A and B are shown apart, each in its own frame.
Chain A
Amino acid sequence: MKTITQDTIPSNTGRTYMVKKGQHIRVSGKSIVDFVPFAYPNLRERFDQSRTKAFHRRIFISTGDYLISKFNNPMLKIVEDTYKEGTHDLQRGTCNGRRWRMLEAQGAEALKPYAHRNITKLPDHGCWENLTEALKPYGVAAEDIPSPFNIFMTLEIDGKTGEMRDTTMRPKETAHVDMIAEMDCLLAISACPDMQVGGKDIDILLYEAD
């Protein structure tokens, strides 16, 4: 195994990494990670939640599954997933300061979903802003950042009623998702502030397997 990059993304910040076809990226953490791939160099080919779900006929992905682009191309394949307590999310977009400000404008209700954590104030920014900032050097507009593969984000979903609820289910000990690139990709990754449990730093390892 040849390490290419090793990095720690501090909570509620974002970074980008270039991964070449055949290389691996391992994302390790205990709280939500917003993970967004773009094809490189054609950054207009973006990851697509719906294409990914349609391709697998499943709303969750894990070991053996692909992240699919809007053009129906496999971008990355999950080769290992050690998160056993729950599932990764393909329903939600990115948390963002803009929405929190809208909720605050409606009053105290804004903090209600996080009552169990005694939070008195919502962050001034979230994953959307982190990803926007990280992607600036590549000229990717905020609107063009696709909804992510939300690693370690476990939602409770009722397929009958359609009810969708946040949970505090996360890896008990540090877990990782290991992916191999099926094409050259620009990866944008945000260590989510994860308001349900409190965001933690995320470890990134880029490597070539033997």
Chain B
Amino acid sequence: MKLIKQETIRNNTGWAYVVQRGQRIRISGRTIVDFVAFNHSNLQDRFDQERTKGSQDKLFLTKGDFLATKANRPMLRIVEDTYTEGTHDMEKGMCSTSSYQIKAKLGKLDQYQEQPLGEVPDHGCWENLTEALKPWGIAREDIPNPFNIFMTMEIDGKTGKLAHTAIRPSKTAYVELEAEIDCLIGISACPDITVGGKPVDVMVYEE
């Protein structure tokens, strides 16, 4: 194993990096991680929640499953997933200043009240990813909805209810992905206001 890059992403900040085809990226943490990817040879071809769900007929990804681009191209494959308490999310977008503001305005912040809510953060994952991806000239509206690692939602397929939970890894867990094409990766250590965000460890390596 040859280590290429190691990084700790502080809570409520973002980071971006290019992972070459065949390399692996391991993301370790205990709270939500917003993970986005772009086809490095065509940054307009982005990770796509719907293509990923649609082509595998499932809402949740785990070991063996792949992340697909809008052009239906498998971009990364999950080769390891040690999170066993819950599932990863592909329903939600990124938390953001505007999403907090709109919820505060409409009195909807109570949905996070698993524990007393302190101050609403002045920014969220959308702003973190926008900042991290700036060197690649990616506009904020072109940041796709992420693969939300460790974000466990309660979904009722009959009523359609989509609720936050406080289910997260009880000990540090990781998801490891292998790049099937060269990918620009954007990662945000989510403020995860349901449980309180923690730093996220990232390791890129070659077998």
Give A residues with C-beta under 8 Å from B. 44-46, 48-51, 53-60, 70-72, 87, 91-93, 96, 98-99, 102, 141-144, 147, 156-159, 162-165
Contacts and interface: CB of A to CB of B under 8 A. Distances in A.
Given A50-B145, A92-B54, 19 more contacts: A44-B139, A48-B93, A50-B91, A54-B162, A57-B161, A70-B141, A72-B96, A91-B50, A92-B50, A93-B50, A93-B51, A144-B44, A144-B142, A157-B59, A159-B59, A159-B156, A162-B60, A164-B58, A165-B57
Interface string B32-52: 000000000000111011110
Nearest to A60: B160
B53 interface: yes
B46 A143 contact: yes
Contact of A72 (B46, B98, B155): B98
Contact of B48 (A87, A142, A147, A163): A147
Given A57-B111, A72-B99, A163 B58 contact: yes
Contacts of A57: 111, 161-163
Contacts, number: 103
Nearest to B94: A50
B162 A143 contact: no
Contacts of A99: 55, 72
A93 B72 CA distance: 10
Interface of B: 44-46, 48-51, 53-55, 57-60, 70-72, 87, 91-93, 96, 98-99, 101-102, 111, 139, 141-142, 145, 154-157, 159-163
A58 B154 CA distance: 10
14 contacts: A48-B93, A48-B145, A53-B162, A59-B157, A71-B141, A72-B102, A91-B50, A93-B70, A98-B71, A142-B70, A156-B157, A157-B157, A159-B155, A165-B57
Given A44-B139, A54-B99, A71-B141, A159 B50 contact: no
B59 A164 contact: yes
A98 B58 CA distance: 20
Nearest to B139: A44
